A and B are shown apart, each in its own frame.
Chain A
Amino acid sequence: MWPEELSRARLHVVTGKGGTGKTTVAAALALALASGGRRTLLVEVENRQGIAQLFDTSPLPYAETRIAVAPGGGEVRALAIDPEAALLDYLEMFYNLGIAGRTLRKMGAIEFATTLAPGLRDVLLTGKVKECVTRTGEDGRHLYDAVVLDAPPTGRVVPFLDVTKAMADLSKSGPINRQSEGVVRLLHSADTVVHLVTIGEDLPVTETLETVTELDAADLRTGAVIVNRADPRRLPARSVESAADGRVDRVRIRAGLSEAGIELTDAQLDGLIEETVEHAQLLQSSEAALARLSARPPDGPAEPLPRLELPEMLDGVELGALYELAELLAGQGVHSNAVPRPSRVAEAARR
């Protein structure tokens, strides 16, 4: 379940091993946190346009764009931060580059500069995220009740968030250094939590546990572990072990079927049994992997991690499925503590 303290966080960082569905989970989380009249921002930083593909919209510009309406009158906006554009923004702010900026970019100069100092890229991205989290609207309220960051995968997320370390690569003076102090404060405060997406396989679980340790060491807060594509638990628990060993009670299945007046051919029954064995084997290895999430150290985490589950979407993740996933998250307690915003309709009526 989702612990109440996570509902106070304003920056939700979502990471996970590649292939675990971290972008999908981040999008569902942004929807769940927006429901009931909140406004959230879903941010991506890897030049992948993963959000646009998920919501089936045209590629996101480097500008915040409304992409979905949440249940109960909230809204989700999205932003794809491009580090090169972010660097140009900075330079533009402090040195008036004019149109030379575009030419420089075309020449690869910006990419070159961000490669010279790998930390620079990350500092620019987290700097922009911080600006979104802290920005206030005309009413003095934060423009976004929560920002959900689709972050780099588990292997790279801690260096990405460890701005202090990245800054060590960079010059000790200058505009970016000054701004980074605020970023460090935000990322290490209770306003920021890092959620980890995994699936029931060995490697993703191992990476999740390693990342939890790294986050602790870097003094960053771990949020929830979200087990994606969890098994729907169709098979009775007591049948799993024997089925995984290849023993499926054929007689019992036949009896159960004929009780309902159903006759299947031998070939059909063979196929069903083979599928059941494969399923049970998969289930068993996935349960063994997931058990490590709640094991004691040294295999498991130092503190038990709050765990949420999402099922696999067999028809694929389309917009409708995202709403379904968001609802499932809400059902496990996911919400934002922010005061709901007056809906547009209500606002219009008041005027």
Chain B
Amino acid sequence: MSPRPETPHLDIDTVLDNPTTNVLVCCGSGGVGKTTTAAALAVRAAERGRRTVVLTIDPARRLAEALGLSTLSNEPKQVPEVGAGGRGELHAMMLDMRRTFDEMVYQHSTPDRAEKIVANPFYQTISSSFSGTQEYMAMEKLGQLAATGTWDLIVVDTPPSRSALDFLDAPQRMSSFLDGKMIRLLSAPARAGGKGLRRLVGVGFGLFAKAVGTIIGGQMLADASAFVQAFDTMFGGFRERATMTYELLRSPGTAFVVIAAPEPDALREAAYFVDRLAGEQMPLAGLILNRVHPALADLPAGRARELADQVEQAGNARLASAVLRLHADRVDRAAREQRLLGRFTNAHPSVAVTQVAAVAGDITDLAGLREIGERLSGPGRAPVESAALG
């Protein structure tokens, strides 16, 4: 199975140039090259004349340096070598989730109260190691950047979660942790929840609360409870912002690109994500299939292996047979990649796709990012179709 011939092509430059597109969200599961792709898209957009900011999450050190970022920087910093001359500019920042969270707390509270919250051990756990915090803070930062109105295009990298869906769900999940219902149930189950709930879980909840208290210790519960009380007044503000960001993601000014590597897990996640975006009525631009290995010579794998056998029988031309066998491996790999993509396009025939050939080695400078940008906006197909089909 190879991709359907009628699969629409994702034209990256059209997406980047569209003046009504102000937010470009790059999502996909971990390890597919999302951060690098986001950076390359931002560089390209800036050099095509747009005032661009890229919000990166946890980039590899050398990629960060290529963008002029050596530490977490919660405010965008201009990358001087990009887009010089024209209107285009590139600014980059690396999300500092703890600081973003602290700033939110200070903004929505009195200084006194904010101090108390930030010093609370439970807040420290939530703001640094809760599994959805990074996602939540990325969305918060996106909302802040959009609110300034100074950017033509905001390119957002999403956190390196296992599942591509995490960042859509995190704010909601986090909200339900912070809205205090649960902690009130645990710390004072008799008073919370109303009669209906008490009847529903009955005496079990009292026991559960007691058991949790025994297991995790009274201090932890007391901290959590103090935190929730202090947090209570801000909660409305938090929720309102999360809702605004969610609406921003659904607005026509936003485009999502889903990035996948040609691996079953990554494409499965991409498929879930595409379905989910459709369900939420969020605008999908298309799929970037990253790091493909198109065959570059028109010679089927089986034939290349036969020839390699012949060469080996005829004499000792090791280089010639090695080159043929390398090619045969590559054709097999390309065929597998196209088969995997074919499964995706069959299930999602209307999703536009572009393919990006793998680059050897890590991307460590702007030249590397420009090269990825070239490949992103290229025809996005294996140059030798027949060989790829093997």
Contact = CB atoms under 8 A, between A and B. Distances in A.
Asked if A and B are interacting partners, one says yes
Interface of A: 17-19, 46, 48, 53, 90-91, 94-101, 103-104, 107-109, 112-113, 115-118, 120, 169-176, 201-203, 232, 234-236, 239, 248-249, 252-253, 255-257, 259-262, 264, 267-276, 278-279, 281-282, 285, 314-316
Interface of B: 30-31, 60, 122, 125, 129-130, 160, 162, 176-177, 182-183, 185-186, 200-205, 207-208, 210-218, 220-221, 224, 264-265, 295-299, 307, 310-311, 313-315, 317-327, 329-330, 332-333, 336, 340, 360-362, 384, 387
11 contacts: A95-B207, A95-B211, A96-B207, A118-B125, A201-B362, A236-B319, A252-B317, A275-B326, A279-B326, A279-B330, A316-B264
Given A267-B297, A275-B330, A261 B314 contact: yes
Contacts of A272: 296-297, 299, 323-324, 326-327
A268 B298 contact: yes
Nearest to A103: B201
A260 B317 contact: yes
Contacts of A275: 295-297, 323, 326-327, 330
Contacts of A120: 215-216
Contact of B204 (A100, A255, A285): A100
B218 A100 contact: no
A103 B203 CA distance: 12
A96 B160 CA distance: 40
Contacts of A257: 307, 311, 317, 320
Nearest to B333: A314
Contact of B299 (A169, A268, A281): A268
A179 B217 CA distance: 16
Given A202-B362, A203-B60, A253-B323, A271 B208 contact: no
Q: Main SS of chain A's interface residues?
A: helix
B326 A276 contact: yes
Contact of A171 (B202, B216, B265, B323): B216
B162 A18 contact: yes
A260 B60 contact: no
A100 B189 CA distance: 14
Contact of B360 (A19, A169, A255, A285): A285
Contacts of A112: 177, 182-183, 186
Question: Max chain B CB contacts within 10 Å: which of A120, A249, A255, A314?
Answer: A314
Contacts of A234: 322, 325-326, 329
Given A97-B204, A100-B202, A256 B215 contact: no
A289 B134 CA distance: 30
A262 B322 contact: no
A56 B362 CA distance: 33
A257 B308 CA distance: 9
A46 B351 CA distance: 30
B174 to A, nearest CB: 10
Nearest to B130: A115
Given A253-B319, A272-B324, A264 B299 contact: yes
A39 B244 CA distance: 55
A255 B182 CA distance: 76
A260 B307 contact: yes
A270 B297 contact: yes
Contacts of B315: 256, 259-260
A278 B295 CA distance: 11
Given A98-B204, A203-B60, A239 B333 contact: no
Contact of A282 (B182, B211, B215, B360): B360
Question: Max chain A CB contacts within 10 Å: which of B310, B317, B384?
Answer: B317
B90 to A, nearest CB: 24
B121 to A, nearest CB: 10
A299 to B, nearest CB: 15
A33 to B, nearest CB: 25
B319 A239 contact: yes
Given A259-B315, A272-B324, A314-B333, A174 B204 contact: no
B271 to A, nearest CB: 14
B310 A169 contact: no
A107 B313 CA distance: 70
Given A112-B177, A256-B311, A314-B333, A268 B216 contact: no
A115 B177 contact: yes
A100 B314 CA distance: 77
Given A46-B162, A108-B182, A173 B214 contact: yes
Contacts of A316: 264, 336, 340
Contacts of B307: 257, 260, 262
B336 A174 contact: no
Given A260-B314, A267-B298, A273 B215 contact: no
